[in-house]
Amino acid sequence: MRMRDTRRSGSYAAFKIMLALLAAALAFPLTAFSAGGEIRTDTENCLICHRYPGMGRFDEAGVKRIYYINEMKFANSVHGKLKCTNCHVGLDKIPHTDIRKVDCTTQCHLKEPSTEREFSHTNMVEKYNHSVHGNSDPNNPKPFPEDLPTCTYCHDNSIRSPLEGVWGTSQALANETLSRCVGCHTKDHWAQNYYLHVTHRMRHLRSQAEIIKLCTSCHEDSEKMSRHGLDSIATFKDTFHWNLVKFKVKDAPDCISCHVPIGFTTHDIRPKYDQASSVNKRNRVNTCSNQGGIQSCHPGATDDFAGGRVHAYGTKAQLVVDGAQSIAVEADESLLSERARRDMSEREIMNFKILSYIRLFYKILIPMVIGFMVCHQTLDLLATLRKNRHNSH
Amino acid sequence: MKTTHLDQKLAKVRLRLAKILLIVPMVVFGLWLLKLVYLPNVGSGKAGTLRSSTADGGIFVKILSDQQLVPRGHFHMVDEHVSAQETYQVLCLNCHGTYPHRKEKKTRAVLNFHGGIMDCTVCHVRKDPAHQERYLVWLNHQTGQTSTHVEGGFGKYPAKIALVKMGAESKPVLVQPVSEGEAKAFLKLKEQFTPDQMARAKIKLHEGLSQKPVFCTECHKKDGYLNFSDLGFAPNRVDNLTSNEIARMIENYETFYIPKEIDFTGQ
């Protein structure tokens, strides 16, 4: 046991009393977790402080730090089996001033059943690092690394709940299934955990609108996107796909539908010019048809169909056609211009020009039609009023 | 003859009404169409500006637009017990928020969770013999109901311990560091204050506070500042609160190293 000699007052006897009190607290933890029917204890007794909802502070950067843990939610979450120190490594003193940032590649002392090795998320993190969102190449580091999402930007410690099914409500389904499982798998708690794990993975955790909200929380920021040579995702909201989501059409396509179809993973989203990307030209037919998936969106998709533009034209097209002067550029647009010149083919530039002329045509036509209509109706109304007045005399 | 004249008038009114009924939806439709063409939410070819919405106002506009009670990137699923707006609350929260303690590393988070259990005034406005009319009670900050019974537990109470005094019609009212009228006057005038006037105003605002707030071990001890029994805590909980190991640790140690070598769990 280490004890730094920075005590304000007291003596070694006080230390012994202190240790005895804390030892008692650790030996008889106050709060019990109930996960999947089994009562487990907060073996490290972190909840002695962290169960209070007001526990938190604003840090030096003005960020709200919430240190509160809702014990029941945690116990029923995907990480509910873990001890706090499995993730919060290096936590050995109070105040926790030396705590390390949580690293999802840490081995968390659970056995991964297919390999019998200690489990960690290393596999996913490695994929992520090589993805469009990662920053793995030291020779070619991405600009503005602070813009890139971290694990917790997209993930939270989601609550596990059983799958809704053909047998009725989720609880009834769980009861029916588990009654079959526990015949052979006699440890009820193990069977429940296994069932919840599997059914949790079978569910869509986020609705289409929630997925779009998550992705657009970064991709709609045009300034941030331009720093990375990307169009704002605002262009998606000018599409038929978006309108389906907006009007809550069942199975409407969200970002994941095209960027992570069957055979791809969210952690390994690649840029479209990468042949491993689901939206690369060579993979687009498969992506649009999504053969083998639960939902086959465009089963008869051809090369021509899949080669069409999905997102509407945005800043890049405008930069190529009209030049930087046309846009109120505050961010450094050089990367965006460079990418625009690379990404926009001659045909697309022509299409954009035609669309621009059509738009201009309607911009002139519509106010003229409406203007004439308003004038006509107003004059007609005035004429009627005048006629009425004349007749009444 | 009269009937015919009336019929003619009615016909004219009907015609006029019909025309107005035709024009209004057409004009509304026209305006909608114009909005669609000229002011779309987003749109192809409407690359618009690359300037983010916060560029002009900087960080303060960003803070104003941030309505999330739990910040993005917070991993654990939590409820928002503390951040709920209250009808009856001490004025301190209007400026200091729900996490007012920031300086002392050892105590700031622990003191902040007490904000979910009690009002600021419990520690920052000491009871003194000159104010015998003040007493501590559980106050439901949504309904204003007082109680001497504990409901809930471990920071999840429907009420908070509050310093109150008897008001009109024998109704307890919150003790505030300044009157509500004075606080409103300060908020109204603060833009006009010179720096020196502001400094004076801040001193006056905090004049009702005790020089030395109540410290952890003043309450968490036998016969301490707070009478936990009077506040309705069960005897075993009173024992726990009056012999609280965290409070003693805070008092006795600058840094406490968590014993690791002893495996109490047998794992």
| pLDDT tens per residue across span B80-93 | 666 667 888 899 98
> Is residue B150 within 8 Å of A89, Cβ to Cβ?
no
Within a domain: residue A156? no
Which tokens belong to A300? Answer: 């008869």
Overall domain count for chain A: 3
Exposure string over A286-315, b if 16+ CB within 10 A, otherwise e? bbbbbeeeeeebeeebeeeebeeebbbbbb
For residue A236, give the DSSP letter: G
| A33 pLDDT higher than 50 | no
- Asked if the C-beta of A25 comes within 8 angstroms of chain B's C-beta atoms, the answer is yes
Residue of A nearest to B249 (CA): A18
Q: What are the counts of helices (DSSP H) followed by strands (DSSP E) for chain B?
A: 10, 5
Say if the Cβ atoms of A370 and B30 lie within 8 Å. Answer: yes
Say if the Cβ atoms of B76 and A27 lie within 8 Å. Answer: no
Within a domain: residue A106? no
- Asked if the C-beta of B252 comes within 8 angstroms of chain A's C-beta atoms, the answer is yes
* Chain B residues with beta carbon closer than 8 angstroms to that of A215: none
Q: Which amino acid is at A254?
A: D
Which tokens belong to B95? Answer: 């400026």
Per-residue pLDDT tens, chain B, 267 aa: give them: 556 778 888 888 888 888 888 888 888 887 887 777 676 554 433 444 444 444 556 788 888 888 788 888 889 988 766 666 788 889 998 889 889 999 999 999 999 999 989 999 999 998 888 888 899 999 998 888 889 888 888 888 889 999 999 887 778 889 998 888 998 999 999 999 999 999 999 999 999 899 899 999 899 999 999 999 999 999 999 998 998 788 888 888 888 888 765 555 544
B74 closest CB neighbour out of A49, A66, A391: A66
- Asked if the C-beta of A19 comes within 8 angstroms of chain B's C-beta atoms, the answer is yes
Within a domain: residue B114? yes
- The CA-based diameter of chain B, rounded to the nearest angstrom, is 112
* Chain A residues with beta carbon closer than 8 angstroms to that of B15: 384
* Chain B residues with beta carbon closer than 8 angstroms to that of A309: none
pLDDT band of A302, cuts 50, 70, 90: very high
> Is residue A341 within 8 Å of A315, Cβ to Cβ?
no
CA distance B210 to A96: 30
For residue B192, give the DSSP letter: T
Residues A216 and A340 in one domain: yes
Residue of B nearest to A52 (CA): B155
Q: What are the counts of helices (DSSP H) followed by strands (DSSP E) for chain A?
A: 17, 7
* Chain B residues with beta carbon closer than 8 angstroms to that of A355: 44-45
> Is residue A75 within 8 Å of A40, Cβ to Cβ?
yes
Say if the Cβ atoms of B22 and A67 lie within 8 Å. Answer: no
Overall domain count for chain B: 1
> Is residue A133 within 8 Å of A142, Cβ to Cβ?
no
Average confidence (pLDDT) over A157-185? 83
* Residues 6 or more apart in contact with residue A384 via CB below 8 angstroms: B15, B16, B19
Identify from B59, B154, B256, B265 which residue to disrupt to test chain A contact, counting A C-beta atoms within 10 A and taking the largest count: B256
pLDDT band of A283, cuts 50, 70, 90: very high
Question: Which pairs count as long-range contacts for B258-263, CB under 8 Å and 24+ apart, including other chains?
Answer: B258/A22, B258/A91, B258/A92, B258/A93, B258/A94, B259/A1, B259/A19, B259/A22, B259/A23, B259/A26, B260/A92, B261/A1, B262/A23, B262/A26
pLDDT band of A32, cuts 50, 70, 90: very low
> Distance, in angstroms, between B199 CA and closest chain A CA?
23
Helices A188-202 & A170-181, crossing angle to 10 degrees? 130
Domain termination residue (choose one: A81, A114, A134): A81
ipTM over 0.85: no
- Domain span at residue A263 reads 208-344
Within a domain: residue A131? no
Dihedral (Cα; A289, A293, A294, A300), 10-degree rounding: 20
Residues A340 and A215 in one domain: yes
> Distance, in angstroms, between A293 CA and closest chain B CA?
30
Within a domain: residue A181? no
Helices B180-189 & B195-205, crossing angle to 10 degrees? 170
Per-window interface: A 328-387 vs B, CB < 8 A = 328-331, 333, 336, 352, 355-356, 359, 362-363, 366-367, 370, 373-374, 377-378, 380-381, 384-385
Within a domain: residue B99? yes
pLDDT at B35: 76
- Asked if the C-beta of B141 comes within 8 angstroms of chain A's C-beta atoms, the answer is no
pLDDT at B265: 52
Digit-coded pLDDT (tens) for A352-363: 889 889 988 988
- Asked if the C-beta of A70 comes within 8 angstroms of chain B's C-beta atoms, the answer is yes
**Apex B206 CA angle, A65 and B132, nearest 5:** 110
Residues A246 and A340 in one domain: yes
Per-window interface: B 64-83 vs A, CB < 8 A = 70-79, 81-82
Within a domain: residue B261? no
* Chain B residues with beta carbon closer than 8 angstroms to that of A238: 40, 42-44
Residue A65 three-state SS: strand
Q: Which amino acid is at B252?
A: N
Average confidence (pLDDT) over A268-290? 92
Going A337 to A340 to A342 to A345, the CA torsion angle's sign is negative
Say if the Cβ atoms of B34 and A367 lie within 8 Å. Answer: yes
CA distance B256 to A18: 10
Q: Is B90 left (phi over 0), alpha (psi -120 to 50) or beta?
A: beta
pLDDT at B201: 94
Helices A315-322 & A346-392, crossing angle to 10 degrees? 100
Within a domain: residue B185? no
Say if the Cβ atoms of B109 and A48 lie within 8 Å. Answer: no
Q: pTM for this one?
A: 0.77
CA distance B82 to B69: 10
Residues A315 and A366 in one domain: no
Least confident of A20-24, A246-250, B34-38, B43-47: B43-47
Between A107 and A18, whose confidence is greater? A107
Say if the Cβ atoms of A366 and B44 lie within 8 Å. Answer: no
Say if the Cβ atoms of A18 and B256 lie within 8 Å. Answer: yes
Q: Which residue has the tokens 């936990």?
A: B228
* Chain B residues with beta carbon closer than 8 angstroms to that of A152: 73-75
Other CB atoms within a 10 A radius of the CB of residue B265 amount to 13
- Asked if the C-beta of A99 comes within 8 angstroms of chain B's C-beta atoms, the answer is no
Say if the Cβ atoms of A385 and B16 lie within 8 Å. Answer: yes
Residues A255 and A364 in one domain: no
- Classify strands B146-147 and B134-139 as parallel, antiparallel or unpaired: antiparallel
Within a domain: residue A280? yes
Residues A281 and A367 in one domain: no
Say if the Cβ atoms of A21 and B245 lie within 8 Å. Answer: yes
> Is residue A294 within 8 Å of A288, Cβ to Cβ?
no
pLDDT band of A57, cuts 50, 70, 90: very high
pLDDT at A347: 86
CA distance A74 to A82: 10
B255 closest CB neighbour out of A57, A93, A336: A93
Residue of B nearest to A95 (CA): B106
CA distance A258 to A260: 6
pLDDT at A292: 84
Within a domain: residue B147? yes
- Domain span at residue B93 reads 81-176
Residues A12 and A59 in one domain: yes
CA neighbours within 13 Å on the CB side: how many for A186? 0
Residues A225 and A315 in one domain: yes
> Is residue A69 within 8 Å of A50, Cβ to Cβ?
yes
How many contacts, defined by CB atoms under 8 Å, are there between A and B? 260
What mean pLDDT, rounded, does chain A reach? 82
- Asked if the C-beta of A159 comes within 8 angstroms of chain B's C-beta atoms, the answer is yes
Say if the Cβ atoms of A10 and B156 lie within 8 Å. Answer: no
> Is residue B100 within 8 Å of A54, Cβ to Cβ?
no
Q: Is A150 left (phi over 0), alpha (psi -120 to 50) or beta?
A: beta
Within a domain: residue A144? no
